[in-house]
Structure 1
């Protein structure tokens, strides 16, 4: 009877909770390992560019150098780059990465029939050519550090001396924003690049950026506007593939298949093996979406056979994709077999290939989908072990999405199998995972908002630098032109200034409107901060102990310091913690400060015996800055040994006072001793505390009150801080 009641309760809940944050069963990475190699061919003595040099990669990619002697070509690590010209010996080079390649050719003065006879190849890694060095640096940091990469690109733009260099700098900026999924900014920068210098290569990138930003019609128009005769074989395949992708997204499947087939024809003709596999796979997907399953099977079989002849990672990607197809057509037996093969391959390549949780090639996802397929066949005996393995794998890799979905499916299987107690326990685990996932998603959204804001600020600074440079050039031109043209330029500058003023006014209004919405984010940021001066000085103390060969003292100090830092990090996500935890933090912090300044002060911490420290909560590390101010700006400068008193008293049943008092030199003397920089830093720190208290009181109805005054009327007036804390 008790089991039946539990089951009914379980069913009721299951009908009232939405299944949040599901997986995308069709998401399989289709990215290859290709990258863009940039380079140039020049005369060694004059640095004069050599155009129309044949550049080829074994595998089908081909291009020539332009009028500036520059080239770019798609390649992979280990490919052989061949550089041919009728006037010099053929150069062969094995590609290791995407660093810039420079080929220097020396003139042959002895042989009239051949203009050049010798070459030198080197990777660009010096600051000889500032612009190219900065561009290379931007590309080197592109996937590692967005801010640093944008900074290098902006500096390169400031060093630019031609429209070609301008175009290249804006193209790299577009590449950065594309990688970090800021597609609207990528579109803007690619368009500026094309405005400086029209190239088919950047147009292809612009079309792809439009697609990622869901401007599908603009993407199609851009693809169709590209002159196919100006493209290399690889670029032509990319054009047809990209066009097919857009048509697939807009559900015009016939046009999608037609575009993919055109790309496949070019890839087969020029033996571009990776693209042959990819396009067969995409044609299969298009036929599948169109509902022509037999044709989809044929192309999937072809793509899987081709993938098996490539590397193991590409082969397993295709197996997973075909397994997804088998799932869609309810062919669970073949799906299970393919996924088991994929699991074996993944275990072989997992150490050499880094798979993040977003990848479809993770053991937890494949185990989950095998278990799900068995469940679709009502084979619960085989389904349960795979789902349990999926949950364990997902938990070890902190993949909450898969862990949640696998737990949910396990609960459903137990319920269908009549094991209601296990079903209920699994469902309770599922609900807990939903809560954890919701919290994680909330944090990710917050982080993404901050990241996006930083990126936009970087872009605005670059635009500002460009505006400043344009203004300087305009002023230079004013000194050489006639009066009539001078007036025209002045009017243009005035108009631009007015536009900037209007823009600044609109931005000010927008920022003002967003300020309230940012309070929550500000609170999260403020509560996670700890005074950086303390951390810096603490580590300096450790360094001093080590320098004096006092290893034992250094170890003891560093151990206590690490305990404090760990406690701060553990409480960083909480608005409030118990008074008991805060008192322990204060004891540890004050102990560390006293350890460093034993000759400057003694201290005492007292807690009223009548206070139940579990009944009161307090914002974490709210009191630490006041204690730090007492030590660093009061007691440290006192001529005699001072005293720090921290007393926690109960004023009534629902309110306590926390009094932090010191007999140091006082606020006025401390202010007089500070440098201008120190005053600003202290003002900013106290301002952060006031803002934090203000936000908390607004959110929690005047829970915290802070009062600061002199402690005594003697020469060293000291400081007294009274923090009033109210119980809920």
Structure 2
């Protein structure tokens, strides 16, 4: 009997356990306490235990269920528990505490019957039922929807039904943003049976996958005379979307207006609203804000005649437009109106955190608009409300942004104590967001793996079915045996080659996406690490009752923070901007240790710094190490030098030298505990350089060596940077 997971419920028995609080940057994951997790795996109908189920902790302990279906395994908070068995799908669960886990499974009689009837033909009603089920679960459960599609291919009797199944398969991948697989399946559907609806979907999938020329070609291949009025508007809207994406703004506007004329002629109200809104967005991107405002007014008026959700969506678009124009009063009024409508929408449906319609986002934007007008008293309540709502809905991104903005407001208002508290909360939220992103990367990788596996299984089923039908026909058509076998093998080989090519392309894109996420995660670690070090400097001035110096330092520090945080989302920034940041940072360090060292920054006159870009915060950790671990312990006053020279037309050399005590003496001065700790800043730099060189073909090279043959050998860091 084949068994699949019906549902999993967890009975948690929380034991009283107290964990010592500690900073994430000073404690490793391996220091988390381990505990015993108990659980069992049973069949839901009979409650019979299932023995010999594989139970594993990611990269750690392994065990199996006993005769009574029970298991015990050592784990720690945050570990991922994997439950595998031949008769049900693999189950994943993240351990939160020493909880009791019960996994209930039940038999799937329908799937068993589908397997038995694999070689038999089913009627059309059975196929349609499976297709309808796949469409029902399309937006809720991708894996279940794909299972219905898999069964539908077994029941398919004709080329037409194959085309319909591949179209729905493309719809599934389109919704779950697997655009390359969507293109692949729409193309197969179109090859089985040409249909204008499928061609429109294929063109839209090409656009989403950034195949803009293929998208335009597909749209132009469609015979406009065969389209319904709604499909014709869709075609012009799709072409306009492609030209907008390629920044061909005037062509985009002309195409949208052609579609708008068709929609107005045939009274297609939803599309009239959408196209007015899109024309407004193009004019805004083009810089013609007056024309954009006119179209936005029209779209907002039309949206108010439709349902409330559509009206709110358009209102928020216009609010964003007013924000970009610094019309904050109009923006605030629109967002306040939107908040009232959002409450009504939330009573009827659930808004996920990705939606622009969430109340926490609107409260944040209202608070931000008040802050930009320096109306801090009005801004604070909205930001606090945004933080509260984001916390209750676990929207870490909005909570982080609102907390950061609140800290800046307190700082600008001179309430430095509250600013510091809010900023510390912001740092904690950055860390939580980083942990969440790591989990999302892992889940996305697993989801992508499952999706590719299902696609290969469906292709295999289709190939098997085709081969089975060909064998059946060969029994009555002996003369065509060799010809059919050859065609079947060639078709299968071509299909496998296409699949292999698409899988390779998909894996390559996924690797690039993972590298970009890793870079973003490493940058999010660098900012809190750097900020904590700088705050320690402020703390030392306050501890010595030097409030005036602390205030001066904090003023320069806030300027540096603003610049650093503005660049935190970028992979590369202009070298000129990075040098300005280094000058400000070195000034701050010298401000504190001016009796320990002097510094100079020399840029050779032949260097055109505006021609080069560099990863943000790449050089700062080396300067920090030079000051804190070299020059600070020097008995006499030292010197820090930063030099930029050009070695080749497309390459420059950045040199950071100090005559401090050197790396070996600095290491000898560390305590035993300190020697066990790895430099987070330097570790992140190595990882970032490695990832960047993998992505951009050895763009950055770093060399570290002793500077001189003196008692204080100092340190020399050479960074070689290539032009794009």
Shift of 1:505: 11
**How far apart in 1 are the matches of 2:431 and 2:464?**
50
Matches within 5 A, 1:438-449: 438-449=434-445
Identify which of 278, 281, 301 aligns with 1:285.
281
Shift of 1:507: 13
**How far apart in 2 are the matches of 1:479 and 1:309?**
65
Matches within 5 A, 1:620-699: none
Does 2:335 align with 1:326? no
**How far apart in 1 are the matches of 2:191 and 2:498?**
23
Q: Residue in 2 aligned with 1:190?
A: 186
Deviation per CA, 1:531-556: give whole Å up to 9, x if none. Answer: xxxxxxxxxxxxxxxxxxxxxxxxxx
Paired positions, count: 389
Q: Residue in 2 aligned with 1:655?
A: none
Q: Residue in 1 aligned with 2:375?
A: 379
Q: Does structure 1 retain, via aligned residues, the 8 Å contact 2:463–2:492? A: no
Matches within 5 A, 1:399-478: 399-478=395-474
Does 2:144 align with 1:148? yes
Q: Residue in 1 aligned with 2:481?
A: 486
**How far apart in 2 are the matches of 1:498 and 1:281?**
47
Shift of 1:503: 10
**How far apart in 2 are the matches of 1:486 and 1:159?**
25
Distance 1:296 1:501, change over 3 A: closer
Q: Of the two structures, which has the highest relative contact order with CA contacts closer than 8 Å and spacing of 6 or more?
A: 1
Q: Does structure 2 retain, via aligned residues, the 8 Å contact 1:371–1:382? A: yes
Structure 1 residue ranges without an equivalent (≥5):
1-125, 514-728
Matches within 5 A, 1:148-167: 148-167=144-163
**How far apart in 1 are the matches of 2:139 and 2:323?**
34
Shift of 1:475: 2.4
Shift of 1:459: 1.0
Q: Does structure 1 retain, via aligned residues, the 8 Å contact 2:359–2:386? A: yes
Q: Residue in 2 aligned with 1:123?
A: none
Stretch moving more, 450-459 or 189-198 = 450-459
**How far apart in 2 are the matches of 1:311 and 1:250?**
32
Q: Does structure 2 retain, via aligned residues, the 8 Å contact 1:174–1:187? A: yes
Deviation per CA, 1:562-585: give whole Å up to 9, x if none. Answer: xxxxxxxxxxxxxxxxxxxxxxxx
Q: Residue in 1 aligned with 2:522?
A: none
Shift of 1:492: 4.7
Deviation per CA, 1:178-221: give whole Å up to 9, x if none. Answer: 11111111111100000010000000011111111121111111
Identify which of 338, 348, 354 aligns with 1:352.
348
**How far apart in 1 are the matches of 2:170 and 2:272?**
28
Q: Residue in 1 aligned with 2:230?
A: 234
Stretch moving more, 317-326 or 492-501 = 492-501
Shift of 1:486: 3.2
Q: Residue in 1 aligned with 2:200?
A: 204
Distance 1:502 1:217, change over 3 A: closer
- Give the greater-gyration-radius structure (CA): 1
Matches within 5 A, 1:34-183: 129-183=125-179
Does 2:297 align with 1:301? yes
Structure 1 stretches of at least 4 aligned residues deviating more than 3 Å after TM superposition: 476-483, 485-510
Shift of 1:435: 0.5
**How far apart in 1 are the matches of 2:359 and 2:134?**
35
Identify which of 303, 306, 317 aligns with 1:310.
306
Identify which of 380, 392, 395 aligns with 2:391.
395
Shift of 1:363: 0.8
Distance 1:175 1:422, change over 3 A: same
What is the TM-score of this pair, normalised by structure 2? Answer: 0.51
Shift of 1:437: 0.4
Deviation per CA, 1:7-43: give whole Å up to 9, x if none. Answer: xxxxxxxxxxxxxxxxxxxxxxxxxxxxxxxxxxxxx
Shift of 1:353: 2.9
Structure 2 residue ranges without an equivalent (≥5):
1-121, 509-724
Stretch moving more, 399-408 or 144-153 = 144-153
**How far apart in 1 are the matches of 2:143 and 2:283?**
42
Q: Does structure 2 retain, via aligned residues, the 8 Å contact 1:127–1:133? A: no
Deviation per CA, 1:494-531: give whole Å up to 9, x if none. Answer: 66788899999999999xx9xxxxxxxxxxxxxxxxxx
Identify which of 243, 246, 268 aligns with 2:242.
246
**How far apart in 2 are the matches of 1:386 and 1:262?**
42
Shift of 1:478: 3.4
